[in-house]
Amino acid sequence: MSEAANDSINRLSELTLEEKASLCLGSDFWHTAPVERLGIPRIMVSDGPHGLRAQLEEADHVGIGGSAPATCFPTASALGSSWNPELFRTVGEALGREAKKLGVSVVLGPGINMKRSPLCGRNFEYVSEDPWLAGELATAMVHGIQSQGIGTSLKHYAANNQEDDRLRVSAEVDERTLREIYLPAFERVVKLSQPWTVMCAYNKVNGIYCSEHHWLLTEVLREEWGFEGLVVSDWGAVHDRVAALKGGLDLEMPPNLGVSDAAIVAAVRDGSLYESILDDSVSRVLHLVDRSQPALREDASFDPDDHHALARRAAHESAVLLKNDGDVLPLEPEPGSTVAVIGEFARTPRYQGAGSSQVNPTRLDVALDELQSALAGRAEVRFAAGFGIGTTDDGEQQLLQEAVELASGADHVVVFLGLPGEDESEGFDRTHIDLPANQLVLLHALAEVHDRLIVILANGGIVRVSTWEDRVAAILECWLSGQAAGGAAVDLLLGVANPTGKLAETIPVRLHDNSSYLNFPGEEGIVQYGEGIFIGYRAYDRLIQPVSYPFGFGLSYTSFRIDDVDVSITGSVPDGDLAVTVTASVTNTGRRPGAEVVQVYVGDIEASVARPLRELKGFVKVHLEPGETQHVSCQLDERAFAFWSRRFQRWVVESGEFMIAVGSSSRDLVATETITLDAPRLALPLGPDSTLHEWLEDDRGRELISKRDMRLLQDPELIKVIGTMPMHTLAAFQGMALSHDELDELIAEL
Ligand code: BGC
């Protein structure tokens, strides 16, 4: 036993019941409880995923009060579009350094809930609609933060995919969908990087609050995945402290002081809670406090300028170039030309979302200022606001007119559009995915006077482009890209940086095309995940729906060629050591340095259950100089080919053909290879409830039937009709195919 473990046990035995109970609750909004008598200190936790929101004074959990200045990095939906694990790791290291400086021991992030619907108000805080991508990227961030001796809190576990009624709603999700879509990102991060803590979600899953969900918190998270850390509640997610302890929730935040602690003490005293359950949670709290100490003793510092530069690099990599007709970008204004900058967001940056993740930035780049200084002496930059933020008053008409006038006389027009803060935030969902009406009116008016509009978008969740994209020449989706968003947008606009981002979420033609549309956000306290495993591109592809821009899509100022795709197999499913290696070459065929993401998708061609046409199972981002070629390789294991079988309660790979497709987006696949895998056929034990088909598919069952004179049961025409009937039903049809006695004999012989 380690010294630390011994130490914890010693201290555990010295704690009174009341002290143990107190340790399972925080002491205030952001601190664990100290036990001064025994020298157990308190530690501080703080949001969040893209920058520290350390509230050193007034505290709240929805971003109302101020917080210490910290670098605001791109939010998760932006950073997720970088498809770059190394960047996630580097940003994580920076977050760790800042946490250390601020005395914060656990950073409350990353957030990796799936983007089930584009309407979720908090999509800006989540990485992707795809669990593999979210899992890979968040693993790197957890490694980065924790490399600094600072903990993470992977959140919100699980199925927290909307803000509407988020504190109570029950997400009704079948197990296969949980296992294949809503849990795998958590599973991967837990297995590969052991976050110090996992934060349970507010909502219920299938009728049980996540904070009390034994299956989620204990059976799956700890027993199956081997989670070694502590489970903390989302802020206010605990309803019954004793039930939560029994479910596997160690730490309640913020504390319901005098209520939750008293309930724990009473439950131990009256025997309704085993003290050993309490002890387990207390040990985990003590361990968390212990492992936080070394970083707290360091004399930590960070360079805000370096971190700002990193935020700018991260914002470069997060942007996705959606459209660039006639290579209008990068912008190279002729000497003496006029560049019209239109849109309030060029002057008033929109760079992060609202709520608990809101950071007080150390600096703020303003796109208009950045462009003016970048083009000083080369071109004249002129500005018109074009629209007001969150307003629809009379002044709008004048703003519009000024903008149109400016655009009509300008050589180049760059329009900064996006979602104002009041349109998307933690706490509520959107009701549509369009840009605000005043911005759309402006855009159409500008298109009347200028035919090469360049649109720069700032929004956390996706916005619909299908109603206007044919009226503009270029669209650069910059998301909510943090405090350096303004500078980064200008770098990208002028070609100082080359866009390398790829969509981590599909942009549908219409909201109605999204598979969750009919079931979002639910009603009367329940949201049915009726679309099952088919979310995001899994649904759009399976339904053969046109989309505006597919998952994985993103242009560059250079061009790439992916070729020499090769697939090789070693090991096998029966031996449990299957390894499929996919290799490819990627070449920069253009004239600028750039980066391409080689994406590997797998599809099960002969599945016995409904499966997506293809699913992302690997990707590699490569930076290439003009003319440079690199060889990339991805390893796929058995799980890449498996589905979760409800019947067998396990991951199952079925024998047969699988498609492996490689490309630069989910709908731009340059090579598709077919491989054949052999896997053991799984079957439930035969019995009276098994169908005739199941008996005949089973070697032994078929043999027993064919040994007897049961011709009707072997007649191909009849089998088509009665094959799906259970044997005991067939036996009940007197004189038809077999009798009850014969069925009993068959079963006895089995
Ligand atoms: C959010 C969490 C956050 C917590 C603390 C909650 O409202 O859902 O993501 O970490 O507050 O601010």
Which amino acid residue places its CA nearest to atom 8 of ligand 1? Answer: 234
| CB-based contacts of 226, cutoff 8 Å, min separation 6 | 190, 191
- Is the separation of the CB atoms in 662 and 600 below 8 Å? yes
Separation in Å, CA 733 to CA 354, 418, 666, 701, 726:
66, 67, 52, 20, 11
**Which atom of ligand 1 lies nearest, measured to the CA of 356?**
12
Q: 64-68, 88-92, 637-641, 736-740: which has the minimum mean pLDDT?
A: 64-68
The HSE-up count of residue 188 (CA atoms within 13 Å, CB side) is: 22
The protein residue with its alpha carbon nearest to ligand 1, atom 6, reads 235
CB of 108 within 6 A of ligand 1: the answer is yes
Is the shortest distance between the CB of 163 and ligand 1 below 6 Å? no
Q: What is the mean pLDDT of residues 588-614?
A: 97
Question: Domains of the chain (ranges plus CATH)?
Answer: 315-549 (3.40.50.1700), 560-677 (2.60.40.10), 692-749 (no CATH)
What integer pLDDT is reported at residue 391 of this predicted model? Answer: 64
Atom of ligand 1 nearest to the CA of 202: 8
The residue whose CA has the least distance to atom 2 of ligand 1 is: 234
Residue 712, pLDDT score: 78
How many whole angstroms from 15 Cα to the centroid of ligand 1?
30
Q: How far is the CA of 44 from the centre of ligand 1 (A)?
A: 14
- The best mutation among 235, 425, 428 to test binding of ligand 1, ranked by most ligand atoms within 8 Å of the C-beta, falls on 235
Verify whether ligand 1 is closer than 6 Å to residue 312 (CB atom). no
The pLDDT of 211-232, averaged and rounded, is: 98
In which band, very low, low, confident or very high, does the pLDDT at 541 lie, cut at 50, 70 and 90? very high
- Expressed in angstroms and rounded, the spacing between residue 356 Cα and the centre of ligand 1 is 5
CA of 225 to the centre of ligand 1 (A): 24
CA distance 696 to 694: 5
- Nearest ligand 1 atom, CA 63: 12
State if residue 235 touches ligand 1 by the CB under 6 angstroms criterion.
yes
Largest CA distance in the chain: 98
Tokens at 451, concatenated: 């035919």
How much is the pTM?
Answer: 0.96
Mean pLDDT value across the chain: 95
111 CA closest ligand 1 atom index: 9
Tell me how long the chain is.
750
Q: What's the angle, vertex CA 15, arms to CA 12 and CA 20, rounded to 5?
A: 85
**Torsion, CA 116, CA 119, CA 122, CA 124, rounded to 10:** 90
The answer on pLDDT for 1 being more than 70 is no
Backbone angles phi and psi of 595, in degrees to 5: -140, 140
- Regarding the beta carbon of 48 and ligand 1, being less than 6 Å apart is answered yes
| Cβ–ligand 1 contact at 166 (below 6 Å) | no
- Helix locations, 421-550, DSSP H: 437-449, 485-494, 537-542
Query: Given ligand 1 and candidates 30, 108, 358, which is best to mutate, with the most ligand atoms within 8 Å of its CB?
Result: 108
pLDDT at 611 over 70: yes
Query: What is the arithmetic mean of pLDDT over 550-571?
Result: 98
What digits encode the pLDDT tens for the residues 349-359? 999 998 889 99
Residue 234: active-site member = yes
Q: What is the pLDDT of residue 11?
A: 86
- Residue 689: the pLDDT is 95
155 lines ligand 1 (CB under 6 A): yes
**Is residue 3 scored above 70 in pLDDT?**
no
**CB environment 538-574: b (16+ within 10 A), e (fewer):** bbbbbeebebbbbbbbbbbbbebebeebebeeeeebe
- Residue 316: CB within 6 Å of ligand 1? no
What pLDDT is attached to residue 65?
67
Q: Which of 500, 454, 442 is nearest to 333 (CA)?
A: 454
Q: Is the CB of 125 under 6 A from ligand 1?
A: no
Choose the residue to mutate in 356, 357, 358, 426 for probing ligand 1, maximizing ligand atoms within 8 Å of C-beta: 356
Q: Which two tokens stand for residue 381?
A: 């930059």
For 17-51, what is each residue's pLDDT tens digit?
999 999 999 999 999 999 999 999 999 999 989 99
Estimate the share of the chain in helix, then strand, then coil, as percent rounded to the nearest 5.
Answer: 35, 20, 45
**460-497: pLDDT as tens digits:** 999 999 999 999 999 999 999 999 999 999 999 999 99
Catalytic residue among 47, 130, 165, 234: 234
